[in-house]
Structure 1
Amino acid sequence: MANSKANGKAIKALLPHDYACQEAMETNLRGTKNLLTSPGKAALPLKKQRGHEEAAISAEASVILAAVESLKNSIEELRGDLKQNTLTIASIVKAVDFNSGEIKDLKEKNKGMTEEIKLLKATNLDLTAKLLRVEKMTEDQESYKRQWNLRLNDLKEEKDEDTRKKVAGVLIKILPHWAEKVELILDTVHRLGTPLNGRPRQIILQFSL
């Protein structure tokens, strides 16, 4: 018991010193701790070692904090980019929806125009057929009227002449009984072509039917 008390006092005496926690102890069979070594001047380098360790830990902590701060900044930048991309995508979606509506409207208009084109084509075919019939009738009529045409040759041509009056006089001389109705019988009277020097142009007479 006396030894245990003595050892306890020795340990208490060593606790205030920095090197006390570094000393090795052994436990005897009675459960008491005995100091294996006594404090000496060799324990002083441990303070320097601790200082170096603390400085290293502080430096590592600074590096870690800087890395964390950089990571936070990167995350904030990514959030900003993500927000901008979200706005851009929303704008693109609106544009696509608008274009889809425009395309749908144009399709409807195109459908209506297609129907109008079909109607116009049918109308054009009908008008073309009518025009061909009218042209044929006109040709037939012209051909029939030409049967009543008369060509006069070598009738003296004068400057600023009244060709119709001159031809009417010739007809009255040939057919005196036409004198009162010659103006009704004659339809058109004209010379053919351009004036010729010293040579009279032919005259075409067309009679009324």
Structure 2
Amino acid sequence: MTNKYQNLKLNKTERYGRRWNLRLHGVPEDNPEDIRAKVINICCSLVPESQHKITDSIDNVYRKGRIQASSNCPRTTIIRFTNRSTGDLLWRAVEKSD
């Protein structure tokens, strides 16, 4: 395989993996914080009839980047789901709420 082909294949694989994620902006940071609990509360408020499914489908939640002492802006939150259907459900709920 050529290097160019390997890079294309790697990019395709990474894009597919990111489809299981959602980004959440503007979630205030606390010290210490339970970001997973915050995200579950936000997601359940968007789709209250699917609280159990949402709680079970959130695999990993983390903040992106380092804390910037000079910035008051909270870091982006990344939510990784165990299945894409829950992420799609939340995405549709957000689109309808606008």
What's the TM-score, normalizing by structure 2? 0.64
Of structures 1 and 2, the one scoring higher in RCO (CA 8 A, sep 6+) is 2
Aligned partner (choices 60, 63, 67) of residue 195 of structure 1: 67
Structure 1 position 195, deviation (Å) = 1.0
What's the CA shift string for 1:28-84, capped at 9, x where partnerless? Answer: xxxxxxxxxxxxxxxxxxxxxxxxxxxxxxxxxxxxxxxxxxxxxxxxxxxxxxxxx
Is it true that 1:164 corresponds to 2:36 in the alignment? yes
Q: Is the 8 A contact 1:171 1:178 kept in 2?
A: no
What's the TM-score, normalizing by structure 1? 0.32
Larger Rg: 1
Q: Which structure: greater strand fraction?
A: 2
Aligned partner (choices 67, 78, 85) of residue 204 of structure 1: 78
Q: How many residues align?
A: 76
Aligned to 2:47: 175
Counterpart of 2:80, as a letter, is Q
Is it true that 1:155 corresponds to 2:12 in the alignment? no
The 1-side partners of 2:59 and 2:14 are apart by 13
Q: Which structure: greater helix fraction?
A: 1
Counterpart of 1:168, as a letter, is I
Are residues 183 and 137 of structure 1, via their aligned partners in 2, closer, same or farther at CA, if it must alter by over 3 Å?
farther
Structure 1 position 188, deviation (Å) = 1.6
Unaligned runs of 5+ in 1: 1-128, 130-134
Moved more, 170-179 or 195-204: 195-204
SS of 1:180's partner is helix
In the TM superposition, 1:127-142 aligns within 5 A as 140-142=12-14
Structure 1 position 147, deviation (Å) = 1.8
Counterpart of 2:48, as a letter, is P
Aligned to 1:186: 58
Identity score, percent: 32
Alignment RMSD = 2.2
The 2-side partners of 1:139 and 1:184 are apart by 29
The 1-side partners of 2:56 and 2:13 are apart by 20
The 1-side partners of 2:34 and 2:65 are apart by 16
Q: Is the 8 A contact 1:172 1:178 kept in 2?
A: yes
Aligned to 1:145: 17
The 2-side partners of 1:181 and 1:201 are apart by 26
